[in-house]
Amino acid sequence: MSEWANVKYPINIPGDGMFVVGMDVAPGRYVCEEPGDDGYWVRFPQGGVGPVIVRHAGGRPAEVVIENGDNAFDSHVAGEWTRVPTTRPAVAAPATARVKTKTVAIRPVVDPDLPGDVVKRLTANPALLDHVRHGTPWTMRAEVQDPVWILPLIWVAVAFTLGVWLRFIGPAAITLPFVLVFGVRGITRRSRSSDLRRLYRTAVQYADRCRVEPDFDAEAAQLMRRAQRAIRKIKKSTVAGLGLLDPAEDAIVLPRQEWEIAKALSRVSELRREQAEMLAQDVAEEVRKAIEPLRHSLDTVVASVTQRVQALERYAAKVREADLAYKAHEHLRTLAARTGAYQELLAETVRDDIAVVEIERLARNAESLRLALTESLAEARRAGDALTQL
């Protein structure tokens, strides 16, 4: 339930209205005690396989299950819907059972003021950055696995298949491809080794403008992962991919925020390690007292960085809401293009005069959802603009 704690109606859904699943309402099982004699509701599943229309049969409370993959839920009943919690029997875990959690690695962070090709090459080689910053093992050996290795085999096979030609071209024709292949391989290896040496020199040159996972202590690493998780969600969102946010602004602001967060957290981690090493020694009480205000200063810095991270997370949450609204809007737009089929579907369950009203209501719902999408995008942009003020 915590996953859907931020929806607009987490427990009770109004009886009349169109709601975006994941933004307005949460998936789950709902019951309406007073649906009314002519109450009905519509689910809009993903994949364009909807709508799923259900009319109340009367005589009992209405019940609906909003699936996790639904785009929207359209309700027209007298009372409100109440979420029914699902209870699962507790299963005692074996005493020896251990829960394994996978820790997401922190990707390298490089100063965005460096040339774009340098940033791309350095971030693609985290092991090299670990080596130049912390001395971890790294090899400059260039492994070459070229498809040209198969050429000699092909050449020999053809030569033996057409053995008659061996009398004219002689044994030298068989050795020639091996010489050529080894020559090409040597050139390729030298070329790759040269590329690696240039990359190594670049990494050494800009080592102080990069941050990698060993630069952060446990607390700082947790904050860094939160920041990178939020940035990743923003970049991978549908609305960002379609350019519905501000792609030019995001391309500048997000890397800048990530770099500023990484710089501050790595510096805090370094100073905390120095303090821990000093306190581990037999130091005088006066020294311990002198370190205490310095520790408070670092706590203040961490609190400030945490606000940056939370701003990124709010931006990511707004982008997710915009994603949900966009998907639901696209689904309803597809349905609007199939008005004829929808009219036939309604005609099977209601009288013609009511069907016209229902189709008009669908158009109004689509317009309301379009306005909700516009507002969601505007809120996401405002959340992104707030990052530039930090």
How many Å apart are CA 350 and CA 362, to the nearest integer?
Answer: 15
Q: What is the DSSP letter of 107?
A: P
Which parts of the chain fold into alpha helices (H)? 116-123, 126-134, 150-161, 166-169, 172-205, 218-236, 238-241, 247-279, 285-337, 339-347, 352-387
Contact between 302 and 268 (Cβ < 8 Å): yes
Contact between 142 and 186 (Cβ < 8 Å): no
Residue with tokens 């992104």: 384
Q: Which amino acid is at 325?
A: A
Token readout for 3 is 């996953």
The residue extents of the domains of the chain are 2-84, 109-211, 216-387
For residues 260-284, average pLDDT: 88
Which residues lie across from 211 on neighbouring strands? 109
Whether the pLDDT of residue 128 is over 80: the answer is yes
Higher pLDDT, 369 or 326: 326
For residues 20-31, average pLDDT: 87
Of 86, 88, 78, 80, residue with least CA distance to 31: 80
Question: Within 10 Å of residue 213's Cβ, how many Cβ atoms?
Answer: 18
For residues 233-258, average pLDDT: 86
Check residue 296 and give its pLDDT: 87
Whether the pLDDT of residue 165 is over 80: the answer is no
pTM of the model: 0.65
Q: What is the pLDDT of residues 79-98, one digit of tens each?
A: 999 999 865 555 554 544 45
How many Å apart are CA 60 and CA 66, to the nearest integer?
Answer: 19
Contact between 235 and 312 (Cβ < 8 Å): no
What band does 181 get if pLDDT is binned at 50, 70 and 90? low
Of 81, 89, 87, 90, residue with least CA distance to 26: 81
Contact between 107 and 228 (Cβ < 8 Å): yes
What is the dihedral sign for C-alpha 342, 364, 60, 23? Answer: positive
Token readout for 40 is 């009905």
Of 381, 382, 386, 387, residue with least CA distance to 257: 387
Q: Please tell me whether the peptide bond between 61 and the residue prior to it is cis, using omega within 30 degrees of 0.
A: no
Token readout for 172 is 């030298």
Token readout for 167 is 């009398």
Check residue 340 and give its pLDDT: 62
Residue with tokens 């260039």: 142
CA-CA distances (angstroms) from residue 271 to 126, 215, 274?
Answer: 24, 11, 5
Distance of CA 143 to the CA centre of its chain: 32
Q: What is the DSSP letter of 66?
A: E
Q: What is the pLDDT of residues 150-161, one digit of tens each?
A: 555 555 555 555
Q: Please tell me whether the peptide bond between 89 and the residue prior to it is cis, using omega within 30 degrees of 0.
A: no
Contact between 17 and 69 (Cβ < 8 Å): no
Q: What is the pLDDT of residues 52-77, one digit of tens each?
A: 888 887 777 899 999 888 888 889 88
Higher pLDDT, 378 or 218: 218
CA-CA distances (angstroms) from residue 13 to 20, 82, 182, 214?
Answer: 11, 7, 72, 48
